[in-house]
Amino acid sequence: MAVLQMQRVSICAMKKNRKAVLERIQSLGLMEISDILEGDAGFAHMDTANARASFEKAAAQADRALELLDVYAPEKKSLFASLEGKALIDAKVMGEMASKRDALQRTASRIQALDKQIAEKRAEILKLENGIESLVPWMELDIPMNLTQTKTAAVILGTMSGVGAVDDVYQVLAQDAPDIEKVDVTLISAGKDMACLVVCCMKQDAEAVEGVLRTHGFARPSQVWPKSPAEVKEDLLGEIERHKEEMETARQEIVSLAEHRRDLRIVADYYRVRADKYQVLGTLPQSERTFFISGYVPARQVGRLEEALKIYDCVIDVEELKEDEEAPVLLKNSKFASSGEGILESFGLPHKGEIDPTTIMTVFYVFLFGMMLSDAAYGAIMAAACGWALLKFPRMGEGMRKSLQLFFWCGLSTLVWGVLFGGYFGDVVNVVSRTFFGHEVSIPALWFVPLEDPMKLLMYSLGIGIVHLFVGFGIKGYMSLRDKKYMDFVCDTLLWYFLLIGLLLMLIPSSIFASIAGTTIVFPPALNFLAKALAIVGAVGILLMSGRANKNFALRIALGLYDLYNISGWLSDLLSYSRLLALGLATGVIAQVINQMASMFGSGVIGAILFIVVFVFGHAVNMAINMLGAYVHTNRLQYVEFFGKFYEGGGRAFAPFKENTKYTSIKEEL
Partner 1 sequence: MSLFEQMGIVYALLGAAIAVLFAGAGSALGVGIAGQAAAGVVSEDPSKFAQVLILQLLPGTQGLYGLLVGFITLSKIGILGGGLADVSVQNGLLILAACLPIGIVGLISGRSQGKTAAASIGIVAKKPDQFVKAMLFPAMVETYAILALLISFLAVNGVQL
Q: How far is the CB of 36 from partner 1 (least distance, A)?
A: 30
One-letter amino acid at 629 equals G
Q: Which is nearer to partner 1, 91 or 593 (CB)?
A: 593
User: Helix H segments across 136-228?
Assistant: 166-176, 206-215
**Helix (H/G/I), strand (E/B), else coil: 155:** strand
581 binds partner 1 (CB under 8 A): yes
Q: Which is nearer to partner 1, 113 or 632 (CB)?
A: 632
458 binds partner 1 (CB under 8 A): yes
Per the CB < 8 A criterion, the answer to whether 4 and 259 are in contact is no
Pick the piece of the chain touching partner 1 (CB under 8 A) from 109-117, 280-288, 450-458, 549-557. 450-458
Per the CB < 8 A criterion, the answer to whether 156 and 198 are in contact is yes
Q: Which is nearer to partner 1, 107 or 587 (CB)?
A: 587
Q: Which is nearer to partner 1, 26 or 595 (CB)?
A: 595
582 binds partner 1 (CB under 8 A): yes
Sequence-distant contacts of 119-125: CB under 8 A, at least 24 apart: 121/243, 121/244, 121/246, 121/247, 121/250, 122/247, 124/243, 125/240, 125/243, 125/244
List 433, 442, 578, 660, residue binding partner 1 (CB under 8 A): 578
- How far the first Cα of the chain sits from its last, in Å, is 30
Q: Which is nearer to partner 1, 457 or 545 (CB)?
A: 457
Site for partner 1 in 604-663 (CB under 8 A): 625, 628-629, 632-633, 635-636, 639-640
575 binds partner 1 (CB under 8 A): yes
Pick the piece of the chain touching partner 1 (CB under 8 A) from 238-246, 423-431, 453-461, 546-554. 453-461
Q: Which is nearer to partner 1, 228 or 595 (CB)?
A: 595
Sign of the CA dihedral with 457 first, then 462, 466, and 471 last: positive
Per the CB < 8 A criterion, the answer to whether 590 and 622 are in contact is yes
List 576, 595, 661, 664, residue binding partner 1 (CB under 8 A): 576
579 binds partner 1 (CB under 8 A): yes
Q: What are phi and psi of 197, to 5 degrees?
A: -125, 150
524 secondary structure, DSSP code: -
- x/- letters, 408..427, toward partner 1 (CB under 8 A): --------------------
Q: Which is nearer to partner 1, 343 or 491 (CB)?
A: 343
Q: 345: Cβ–Cβ under 8 A, 6 or more apart, which residues?
A: 653
Site for partner 1 in 340-369 (CB under 8 A): 343, 346-347
**Helix (H/G/I), strand (E/B), else coil: 161:** strand
Q: How far is the CB of 593 from partner 1 (least distance, A)?
A: 5
Q: How far is the CB of 298 from partner 1 (least distance, A)?
A: 24
Q: How far is the CB of 78 from partner 1 (least distance, A)?
A: 17
Q: Which is nearer to partner 1, 333 or 595 (CB)?
A: 595
Count of CA atoms in the C-beta half-sphere (13 A) of 296: 19
515 binds partner 1 (CB under 8 A): no
Find the angle CA(70)-CA(75)-CA(80) to the nearest 5 degrees.
Answer: 115
Q: How far is the CB of 564 from partner 1 (least distance, A)?
A: 25
Pick the piece of the chain touching partner 1 (CB under 8 A) from 3-11, 25-33, 188-196, 581-589. 581-589
Number of shown-chain residues binding partner 1 (CB under 8 A): 29
Per the CB < 8 A criterion, the answer to whether 464 and 580 are in contact is yes
Q: Which is nearer to partner 1, 206 or 591 (CB)?
A: 591
Nearest Cα neighbor of 373 from 633, 598, 594 is 633
Residue 398, sorted as left (phi over 0), alpha (psi -120 to 50) or beta, turns out to be: alpha
Count of CA atoms in the C-beta half-sphere (13 A) of 105: 15
Q: 177: Cβ–Cβ under 8 A, 6 or more apart, which residues?
A: 208, 209, 212
Compute the distance between CA of residue 394 and CA of residue 622 in angstroms, rounded to an integer: 30
Q: How far is the CB of 454 from partner 1 (least distance, A)?
A: 6
Q: Which is nearer to partner 1, 285 or 584 (CB)?
A: 584
Per the CB < 8 A criterion, the answer to whether 186 and 158 are in contact is no
Distances (CA, A) of 171 to 71, 91, 176, 217, 401: 61, 88, 9, 14, 86
Compute the distance between CA of residue 408 and CA of residue 402 in angstroms, rounded to an integer: 10
Site for partner 1 in 585-604 (CB under 8 A): 585-586, 589-590, 592-593, 596
- x/- letters, 285..324, toward partner 1 (CB under 8 A): ----------------------------------------
Q: How far is the CB of 451 from partner 1 (least distance, A)?
A: 8
One-letter amino acid at 178 equals P
583 binds partner 1 (CB under 8 A): yes
Per the CB < 8 A criterion, the answer to whether 472 and 569 are in contact is no
Compute the distance between CA of residue 442 and CA of residue 223 in angstroms, rounded to an integer: 85
Per the CB < 8 A criterion, the answer to whether 431 and 595 are in contact is yes
**Helix (H/G/I), strand (E/B), else coil: 313:** coil
Q: Which is nearer to partner 1, 493 or 622 (CB)?
A: 622
Q: Which is nearer to partner 1, 582 or 608 (CB)?
A: 582
Q: How far is the CB of 582 from partner 1 (least distance, A)?
A: 5
Q: How far is the CB of 295 from partner 1 (least distance, A)?
A: 24
Pick the piece of the chain touching partner 1 (CB under 8 A) from 2-10, 12-20, 299-307, 579-587. 579-587
Torsion of CA 342, 346, 352, 356, to 10 degrees: -40
Q: How far is the CB of 377 from partner 1 (least distance, A)?
A: 19
- x/- letters, 121..160, toward partner 1 (CB under 8 A): ----------------------------------------
Q: Which is nearer to partner 1, 81 or 481 (CB)?
A: 81
Q: What is the 3-state secondary structure (H, E, C) of 348-361?
A: CECCCCCCCCHHHH
Q: How far is the CB of 2 from partner 1 (least distance, A)?
A: 23
Q: How far is the CB of 320 from partner 1 (least distance, A)?
A: 33
Residues near partner 1, by CB under 8 A: 343, 346-347, 454-455, 458, 575-576, 578-579, 581-583, 585-586, 589-590, 592-593, 596, 625, 628-629, 632-633, 635-636, 639-640
